[in-house]
Amino acid sequence: MNRRPPGYLKEPKNIIHDYIERNKKGKALNPYGVEQEDQSLYLAICREFDSFDDFLYEVYNDTGDDRYLPETVRKQQRWSLDKIKEELDRIYKQREIIKYHNKISGYNKKQYKIMRMLIYYFSSIERGLKNFNFIIRANHLERLCPVCKSNVLKYNSRKTICDDCRKSQ
Ligand SMILES: [Zn+2]
């Protein structure tokens, strides 16, 4: 989080702005998550608004985006790393076309959630995928060699590491 200028969080519009920024970065929006990760923002919300729900209705009024309605925000759950790995394995096995961007029509909502979780944990999709030894190539998930993390393993190959790494072992 960048340093905020003094008095910045006394302005409700700045509070709303920073909260929306969290959403863009895939960070938690629920009260507990905000409190854990950005306590000054959380305290500002409590100070400037009657309740967290009142605040959410303000954000909703400003943006017209129903993802900010209290019932939606409270449903937001963070996935465990195991759950993310399980989902990535599934996408790989099923050879799903990668289509996660919510600005394109027909995007895959589940993939969108996975990518948001990767950003949340690893701060970028690429780094998150790499952590699980995956990479996106030609709109598909491919497996990376876990040793060098650069060579791509052939789809469904039974090899667990790439030829280069095997030779040098
Ligand atoms: Zn390798």
At residue 64, does pLDDT exceed 90? Answer: yes
- The rounded Å distance from CA 149 to ligand 1 centre is 6
pLDDT band, residue 1 (cuts 50/70/90): low
Domain ranges of the chain: 8-75, 81-167
Residues whose beta carbons lie less than 5 angstroms from ion ligand 1: 145, 147-148, 151, 162, 165
Q: Which of 66, 75, 77, 58 is nearest to 19 (CA)?
A: 58
pLDDT, residue 38, reads 92
What is the CA(40)–ligand 1 centre distance, in A? 44
Ligand 1 centroid to residue 1 C-alpha, Å: 36
Query: Would you give the distance in Å from CA 1 to the centre of its chain?
Result: 16
pTM above 0.95, yes or no: no
Q: What is the pLDDT of residues 5-21, one digit of tens each?
A: 999 999 999 999 999 99
**Greater model confidence, 51 or 27:** 51
Could you give phi then psi for residue 140, rounded to 5 degrees? -130, 155
Separation of 126 CA from ligand 1 center, angstroms?
18
Q: Tell me, in angstroms, the distance from the centre of ligand 1 to residue 143's CA.
A: 11
In tens, the pLDDT along 86-111 reads: 999 999 999 999 999 877 888 898 89
